[in-house]
Structure 1
């Protein structure tokens, strides 16, 4: 392998190690030494790939968000034109994506908050990206909600996040189809004039 390929390989091995360790035992409990042991690289090699644990967490979070955005965008593109169908497709795809691997759901919805200021800008970019999707879907219906549409969208995203946090942390997680039904209900009630 070339030096560039070796660096890419080490970086990917660290991302894989962090995907599991940052989910459990969690970001705060995961040391660089433990990441390096799991990835089978030296501590020196770690710093050739990332500036620290925080930069690795940000890269991992952004990868999860990018994959989620791509999945939701494709689902919306493939969905029938009716608003109900698009809302159902977007929500069920997002929840399905997040819950298809508990590590992803935990990193995106629990560890991102527990990391404090480490991911505040990354988290804000993710919220803005998802808000744009919701606003684009509902934009043809300007009179559907009697409140500020952007603030409403942020509230809906917050509700969806809380549902997924419940799924991650509950001793008996609710079924994912119940999460989807609840989130769809919240969206429909919020935009009651859309249909």
Structure 2
């Protein structure tokens, strides 16, 4: 377990921040590869070589830790998504394509992300709440990229339908039900939206 000399000379706030970061990284690995059954205070502390008191310094329980894992992954996806949409330019079709490709690619590039953000978020009580917040983020991002002449209600309806469909599309993609050709899936998704 972690020895006192490991943190010698490091300011208290920095020590706590570093330990918290290590706990989140360990939980991401454990939950992302083993699921909920593998995540415990003991397993995370073992992975970090920490005494359990360091766990409780940052988190009340594993639910709070799992929420932090989800939030970190969602924030990373949000940053990547916003950058991809901005880089796509002013074309609504290209922005939509960039958004779909980014969400699907982000989840599948690292299966742990997909598990945390989409797969396990269907059934885990902590992640269900977090997933609702992520859908709201996707909704806001979609609305921000909409045409300025759209009626506000019309824009919100389309955005809500798109974000709900995106979550289901991500689940189907990550489960392997749509094959393994990301470009083909994105093309089909964009074509389906264009027909609406």
TM-score with structure 2 setting the length:
0.83
Greater shift, 18-27 or 177-186, is seen at 177-186
Q: Pick from 124, 134, 141: which aligns with 2:142? A: 134
Structure 1 gaps, min length 5: 191-195
**Compared CA separation, residues 18 and 110, structure 1 to 2 (3 A):** same
Aligned to 1:193: none
Distance 1:182 1:20 in 2: 32
**Compared CA separation, residues 171 and 69, structure 1 to 2 (3 A):** closer
Higher normalized contact order (CA 8 Å, seq sep 6+, divided by chain length): 1
Give me the CA root mean square deviation.
2.2
Residues 20-53 of structure 1: per-residue CA shift (max 9 Å, x gap): 1111211244221111111211111101011111
**Compared CA separation, residues 131 and 172, structure 1 to 2 (3 A):** closer
Structure 2 gaps, min length 5: 1-9
Confirm whether residue 161 of structure 1 aligns to residue 170 of structure 2: no
TM-score with structure 1 setting the length:
0.84
**Compared CA separation, residues 171 and 132, structure 1 to 2 (3 A):** closer
Aligned to 1:19: 28
1:172 positional shift: 8.5
Distance 2:165 2:49 in 1: 39
Confirm whether residue 188 of structure 1 aligns to residue 194 of structure 2: yes
Confirm whether residue 36 of structure 1 aligns to residue 45 of structure 2: yes
1:66 positional shift: 1.2
**Compared CA separation, residues 172 and 92, structure 1 to 2 (3 A):** closer
Distance 1:3 1:173 in 2: 49
Contact 2:103 2:170 in 1 (8 A): no
Contact 2:45 2:52 in 1 (8 A): yes
1:148 positional shift: 4.8
